[in-house]
Amino acid sequence: MYSRNPHTSRSSSHSGPSRSGQRSSSRRPFRSSYGRSSHGYGGNRRVSSGRTSQADRGRGAHIPHSKFISKAVEPESVEVFVPKHTFANFAIDERLKKNIVKKGYTTPTPIQDAAIPLALHGRDVVGLAETGTGKTGAFLIPLIDKVLKNDSESVLIMAPTRELAVQIDEEFRGFASGLPLRSALVIGGANINSQIRSLRYGPQFVIGTPGRIMDLMGQNELRLAKCANVVLDEADRMLDMGFIESVKKILATMPAKRHTLFFSATLGREIEQLIGDFLTEPERISVKTQDTSKNVDQDIVRIQSGRTKLDHLSELLKDNNFTKVLVFGRTKHGVEKLSKLLKQTGFSVESIHGNKSHSQRQRALQLFKDEKVQVLVATDVAARGLDIPKVSHVINFDVPGTYDDYVHRIGRTGRAGERGKALTFIE
C-alpha cells in the first residue's frame, strides 16, 4: 500500500478527469507501492533481436524466390461488407457513442461487428484477424463501456511491442475523451518512475508490454489479483518474440474467473494451448479476408556482380515514385549502419530498432508518418500492428527469416484499399 503524495504531478497517461478529481485509494484498481526506482529489462525483450543466432542465420534462404514475386490482384468484384449492427444500436454508454462519432467511426468493421456484442455480454473471445482490421476498437469499446458501468472493474491490455502499446493507448484516449477514465502506459525504454506514478493515480486501464509488466509486478508496483479483464493483442507476435512464458506468468496472477479477449493473426499449436489453458469456452471469430499481399505488387531485385545492395537501394530511392519507403533489415546493428550510410548519401532517413530509446523510436515513427522523412529503416519491430498510412514501398534489404515475416512486412503497404509495392533484394 502507499500514501498519496499531494505534490506529485498528474501522469501524462491521464485520459480525462476522475470522478472526484482523484480516485480514492480504497477503489484503486491497480495497487502500487510507489517510491522505488528500477532498471528492469523493459517491454521489448528478445534475446535474438540484436544478435542473430546460428539457428536464425540463413532461415530466409529457404524461402523460394518465387514467393517474393506476385502481381497485385485487381478487385474485379469487391464484396461490400454489410454489418449486422451499428455503433448507435450497441448497448453502450451514450458518452462513448459520441466519442466514437468524433473519432470518425461510421460503421463497425467485420471484427468489431462480430466481437463487440460478444464482449458486451461478457464472453471470452478469440479473434483471428489481420492488423488494420479495427481490432483495437473491437476490444476497447466494450471494455470502456464495462468500466463506465462498474467502476470497480479494471483492465490489463498486453501488446508485444512498445509501438503497438502506444498506439492502443492513443486509441483509448480518443474513445475515453472527457470520460472519468485513466490509463497507464507501461513499456520498456521509458522511465519506470513516471510509470509508477501513473499507476499511483489509480488507472482503470493498464496498457503495456509483457517485459515491463513483469518488471513492475516483480517490484510489487503492479498487482493484478483483482484485475478481472485482460486483452492479449497480437498473441502470435508475442510467441515470436519469446514473451509467451511471461504472458503465462502474468495471467496466472490474475483471478481465475476473468474476462479474456484474445486476438491473433495466426493460431499455431502453442497459441491454441494458451487459449485452452487461460480462456473459458471462448467464442471464436475469424474475419480474415484475402491475404494483405494480394494488394501488393511484389518483385525481387537481383544484386548485380560488382554492385552492392546499397548501390541498388540508393538508385531506387532517387525515383520520384518512392515517396514513403519502409526498408527492413535483420539486425539492429545492420539497420543502424544502413540508416547512417543513407544519410551520408543525402537521403532523409530515420531508423527504428531495439537499441533505440522509446522516445527515439516514437520520434522516428512520427516523422515517417508525417512524411517529413522519405525512408524508415527498421527491424521486424515495425512489421506488425503499426498503422502507418500511405507507405509507397516496402523494401526487404535483408531477406526475412520466414515467409510469415515476409507477409507481415509487406502488409505495411497496400493498406486501406490502396495498391502497394514490395521489393526483396536477392544476392
Read out DSSP for 140-204?
Answer: HHHHHHHHHH-TT--EEEE-SSHHHHHHHHHHHHHHTTTSSEEEEEE-TTS-HHHHHHHHHT--S
Cα–Cα distance measured from residue 109 to residue 135, given in angstroms and rounded to the nearest whole number = 9
Measured in degrees and rounded to the nearest 5, phi and psi for residue 334 equal -65, -40
CATH architecture of 94-286: 3-Layer(aba) Sandwich (3.40)
Tell me which DSSP letter residue 30 carries: S
Q: Which residues of the chain have pLDDT under 70?
A: 1-29, 31-61, 74-79, 131, 288-293, 382-386, 416-417
Cβ atoms within 10 Å, residue 337 = 15
Q: Please check whether the two domains, 59-73+291-426 and 94-286, share a CATH topology.
A: yes
Q: What's the confidence (pLDDT) of residue 6?
A: 33
Torsion sign, CA atoms 70, 71, 72, 73: negative
Q: How is residue 149 written as a grid cell?
A: 458501468
Place of cell 463497425: 108
Helix, strand, or coil here: 26? helix
Domain boundaries of the chain, sorted by first residue: 59-73+291-426, 94-286
Q: Indicate the helix (H) or strand (E) that contains 351.
A: strand 349-352
Between CA 286 and CA 127 the distance in angstroms is 6
Q: Which helix (H) or strand (E) holds 246?
A: helix 244-252
- The DSSP secondary-structure symbol of 336 reads H
pLDDT at 355: 85
Reported as type and span, the H/E element at residue 276 is helix 269-278
What CA–CA distance (Å, rounded) separates 356 from 189?
Answer: 8
User: What's the rounded Cα separation, in Å, for the pair 106 and 420?
Assistant: 25
Burial track 139-164 (b if 16+ CB lie within 10 A, e otherwise): bbbbbbbbbbeeeebbbbbbbbbbbb
Question: pLDDT at position 28, please?
Answer: 56
Query: Tens of pLDDT along 280-308?
Result: 999 999 886 555 567 899 999 999 889 99
Q: What is the pLDDT of residue 168?
A: 95
**What pLDDT does residue 269 have?**
87
Question: What is the per-residue pLDDT across 413-422, written as a single tens digit (0 to 9) for each?
Answer: 887 667 889 9
Q: Give the pLDDT score at 327.
A: 96
CA dist., res. 358 & res. 367, Å (int) = 14
59-73+291-426: what fold?
Answer: Rossmann fold (3.40.50)
DSSP conformation letters of 247-261: HHHHHHTS-SS-EEE
Say if CB 352 and CB 365 are below 8 A apart.
yes
Q: What is this structure's pTM?
A: 0.70
Contact 2, 35 (CB under 8 A): yes
Buried b (16+ CB within 10 A) or exposed e, 105-135: beebbbbbbbbbbbbbeebbbbbbbbbbbbb
